[in-house]
Structures are given as structure tokens and as C-alpha cells.
Structure 1
Amino acid sequence: MKGTFYVVGVGPGDPELITLKAVRILRDCPVWLTPAAQKNGNSTALAIASSNVSTKEKIILSHHFPMKKIHMGKTPDGEVKDAWEKAAALINEQLEAGNDVALPTLGDPAIYCTGFYVYETLLKLNPDAAIQIIPGISAIGATAAVATTPLCLGDDRVAVIPAIFESDRIRDILLQFDAVVFMKVYKTMDRLVPLLEELDLLDKAVLVERTSMADQRVHHDLKAVLNQELHYFSTLIVRKS
């Protein structure tokens, strides 16, 4: 019998913010493919998973996924595509051997997650592969909780976007929606802050670095962070009401 591949959301960072199902799947899978942002670097997802499930008898396959921009409808960077293909080959080898494989991933797999690129690549390699997606608590929801603000109430409209959008597109979105969540803002605050100030939204915004992690930081004064180096895991919520 062939194995099953699981993309497992392990939550935003706090080891307690992981679902019971994610823990069960991780416990049952003999093989984990753990993502690392840097070559030979540590895996935050692995740290969360191993805080809940012992890795003593696990096969841990650490795999580097380059942190480069991906534009839908365009050919991905060659290094990125190569990483997906190598990951799919590693997973498929284990599945063919009858082993279940888990890919622990931060937050929820449905939101800007490498896991779905691996999912699609694996299906191209093996169209009959058995795959399951295990949802997790998202950084978006956790950030709203930390900021003690709802994302939406009543008939509110919410947008979730990567902060790499052009300023004109961001302006239009801010004007059209009641709440906007910006992901990956760590290199874009110099563009976002002036725009929010222009639209009189600075006092409606809150920035959270490393949501739910031990060194989490919450910023209400966005001008004060302009000259600071922000962590990659930074999320900005702008809520008008």
C-alpha cells in the first residue's frame, strides 16, 4: 500500500496554537519533510511540530525552499521551481515505499503557503498520489487576536494581500474595503506608512511581528518603525471602523 502526503498547518508560532488533528497526523506520519528558508537553516514549522510530537523515531527530511516572489500566471524562478520538484521527488519516493509523509507548514496551508506549490508539483509527478490538506490557525486570525480587533463584523468587506502590490493598487484596495490585511510587510513600510497617512488611516493600523511567538512585538506607532529592521513574519491590519 502506498503512503499519503499531508500538508499540515501547525499554526502561527505558539506551539499551543496547533490543532488536535495536526498533532495526530504528525504523530502518525513516520516521515516529515520540513521547510527551511535558508540552506542548512532552522525550520520554524519543525520547532512547532516537535514541541508537540516527539521526533525520536521520525525520518526528518529538511528541505530548503528559496524565499523569492511568485507571480501567478508567470513562470516561477528556476531555483524555486527546482526546489518544488526536488521536494516532490523526495515525497514521492517515500509514498511509493508505503510511508506517509507530513509537510508541517506555518499558519494555514490555504494562505500564501509553499505547501500548495509542492502539492501541485507532486500531482504532476504522480497524478494518483493520495494527498490531504490539514488546515491550521492562520497568522491573520492570530494577529487580529493579538491586536484585539475583529477582521470583519456585519457587512464588512475584508481584503488580504501581499504588501508587494504597487502603491496605486494598494490605495484602491484601502478605499474599497473596510479592513485590509497586509502580509509580508517587512520591506514595504516606507511605502505603506506615507500612503496610510495620506488616507488618514495611520491610527487605524496595527503591526505585529512574529505573531504569537515568544518575541512577538506589537506596533501602533507605525512611523516609529520606519527605520527599524522588521522580521519577515510581520502582518499589518488596517481596519477603518
Structure 2
Amino acid sequence: MSSLGQFFGIGVGPGPAGLIPVAAVEALRQADLIYLPRAQSSDVSVARQCLAGLDLPAERFREVEFLMASDRSLLASHYAQLAADIAAELRAGRNVAYLTLGDSLTYSTYGYLLAALQDEEPDLCHRTFPGVTSFAASAAALSWPLGEGRERILILPCPDDMTALRADILSHDVVVLMKIGRLLPAVLDVLRELEILAHCAFAQRLGLPGEVLCHDLGALDPATASGYLSTLLIRREARTPRHAPGAPA
């Protein structure tokens, strides 16, 4: 029988505390160590803030600086080292949890780590828990249906090429735009040219200090808004009512 500890991958939601499956909370309580990402530009881990109210012992937490790099060899080295560190803890019989913002396997670095960890330890015993994506949480906060009827939805990280983004918008009913960053002003220009600002929505820092929820992008000031920790919900055409106003029950 293997003496390896168990590895848990847990999506903790995009910001608000409490958006964690009950089963994942139980796994957190079983974990001897809880690794959580922290952005290089931040003094605190957003993932840890998502655990507010769970009363987990502080000594179990280990922060890992989130590597923001496009160099694949650098990323590979980073996740290989992290996997080696976690594998050593598992071989010592400790249960380890790794937290990720949003859903565990939707545009998440957890996928890189899991692959590296499976290479490092072929007998890895693991379980991945799903989490609430930023776009699902944003849609709920804004009361903005992501898809109705047979609408086609595209979910993508914001492209550098605004011509490509324009083509994506025109070929889909709904576009969910993630990883916007510095490109927010350019994206707003595209939506303005397409005259669809009024039926698009924007969420930033959901559930965190400085939260922004905007139902009409015409009212969004690109000079003050930021694309960091932001999600754009883009609808190509205004919603068609699915009910008959004033009809008898």
C-alpha cells in the first residue's frame, strides 16, 4: 500500500468567499499543507482571501509567487521545481492542496502543475475539484444570461489583434473575454465601433475591494477602469424577450 499523501487541486472561485464546493472544503480540512498562488505585483494572495471564514490553521499555508512569463522554458522550469517540492511532501505522507482562482482547469496554471507532478510521481493519488469560473460569477452578479436558446458562446483570452477579436464577435452570439489586462481601451473601441456597448457587461475584482460591476459599457471610463482581474461579457445583438409582457398567468 502506498504511503504517498493525497494531492488536491481546488478552485476557490474568482474572489468572493464561499464559492467552494462542500467536498472541496472537506479536502482542505484534510490537507496538511495548502499551497496558494500570489501575484508578483500583490502583497496578498487573492486565493487565500477566498477562504475567509473557514478558520484553517495559518501554519498550513504556503504562498507560491505566481510566475507571469511568456517564456515556455522558464515556465517549465518553474512548474517542474514546484512539482518536485510538492512531491517531496507527498512522499513524506502529507496531504497537499493546491488552490487556484476560478475553476481548476479553465485557463488555470493548475493544469501545468498537475502534468509536472504526474511526471514527477507516476503513482500520484489526486483529486481535482471544480470551481466557479470568473465569467459564471460575473454573469450571476450582473444578472446577465450567458446563453439562451441555441446561442453560440465563445470563451477566449483577449487577443492582441483587435481585427481577430472583431471577427470572433461577429461570428458568435456571445463572447466571454478573459485575461484582458492593458488591452481594455482597445477592446472598448472595437465594441464602440460595432455599436454594441449597451448590451455588453463588465466585472472587475469581483467580491474584492474596488469591485466594479457595469451593465452598460457606454458608462465605463477606459481611463480609470482596469483589465486586471476583469471579465467582459459581450453580446453581439440585444436580447430578444422570451416572454409576452402583460400576458395572463
Same structural fold, with TM-score higher than 0.5 when normalized by the shorter chain: yes
Residue among 132, 135, 142 paired with 2:130: 135
Residue 229 of structure 1, CA deviation: 4.7
Report deviation, 1:236: 0.5
- Segments of structure 2 that go 5 or more residues without pairing to the other structure are 240-249
Post-superposition offset of 1:112: 1.0
TM-score by length of 1: 0.89
Separation (CA, whole Å) in 2 of partners of 1:66 and 1:11: 20
Using a 3 Å threshold, how does the CA distance of structure 1 residues 135 and 92 change in structure 2: closer, same or farther? Answer: same
Give the fraction of aligned pairs with identical amino acids, expressed as a percent: 28
RMSD: 1.9
- Cα distance, 1:143–1:44 mapped onto 2, change above 3 Å: same
Deviation of 1:19 after TM superposition, in Å, equals 1.6
Match of 1:6 in 2: 8
Report the secondary structure of 1:88's partner residue: helix
Corresponding residue for 2:51? 49
Give the number of equivalent residue pairs. Answer: 234
Tell me the TM-score normalised to structure 2 length.
Answer: 0.87
Q: CA deviation at 1:127?
A: 2.2
- Quick one: distance in 1 between partners of 2:41 and 2:136? 30
Distance 1:77 1:146, change over 3 A: farther
Which contiguous aligned blocks of 4+ residues in structure 1 show a shift greater than 6 angstroms? Answer: none
Q: How does 1:57-206 map to 2 (within 5 A)?
A: 58-69=59-70, 76-78=72-74, 80-206=75-201
Q: Write the distance in 1 (CA, Å) between the matches of 2:191 and 2:180.
A: 13
Q: CA offsets, 1:105-131, max 9 Å, x none?
A: 111112111111100111122222122
Unaligned runs of 5+ in 1: 70-74
Structure 1's 40 and 106: CA in aligned 2 closer, same or farther, altered over 3 A?
Answer: closer
Q: Which amino acid aligns with 1:172?
A: A
TM-fit CA distance, 1:214: 4.5
> Following TM superposition, by how much is the alpha carbon of 1:84 offset from its aligned partner in structure 2, in angstroms?
1.1
- Aligned position for 1:72: none
